[in-house]
Amino acid sequence: MTIGLCLVIASACKGQSDLSPSQRGERTFMRNCASCHGADGKGLPIPGYQVPPADLTTAQFQSTHDDAAIRSILMNGKGAMPPLGKLLPPSELDELIMYVRSLGR
C-alpha cells in the first residue's frame, strides 16, 4: 500500500527514505516490540506472563546474546513471545537487530 503510494506521489515517501538504518531499526522496534519491551527496551510488566518481557538494555543480556542468538529468538519466538521476526523483511530484521544491540550502549 505504501509502495503504491510512493510510485504515485514520490514526495509522500521522502520522509521514509531519509531515515538512516538505525532510525529504521528504531521504527521497527517501536512498531513491533515496544508494546511488550517498552519504548526504552527495559520491558513492561504484562499481566498473566509467567516470564516478563526481557530487559534488553542490560549488560547481562547484551553480553550473553550475539547477533545470531537475537536473530534466532526473533525467528523462533521465546516463551510468550511470538516469532515476530518471520513477519519482517530480511533488511528490516537486520536493522532491528542492530537497534536491539544499540540498546545496551
Binding residues for ligand HEC (CB under 6 A): 32-33, 35-37, 49, 51, 53-54, 56, 61, 70, 73-74, 78-81, 84, 96, 100
Nearer to ligand HEC, 6 or 98 (CB): 98
Nearer to ligand HEC, 8 or 59 (CB): 59
CB of 2 to ligand HEC, least distance (A): 19
CB of 7 to ligand HEC, least distance (A): 28
With H, G, I as helix, E, B as strand and everything else as coil, classify residue 83. coil
**Residue 20 identity:** S
For residues 18 and 45, what is the distance between their CA atoms, to the nearest angstrom?
34
Q: What are phi and psi of 44, to 5 degrees?
A: -105, 150
Q: Are 101 and 67 in contact (CB under 8 A)?
A: yes
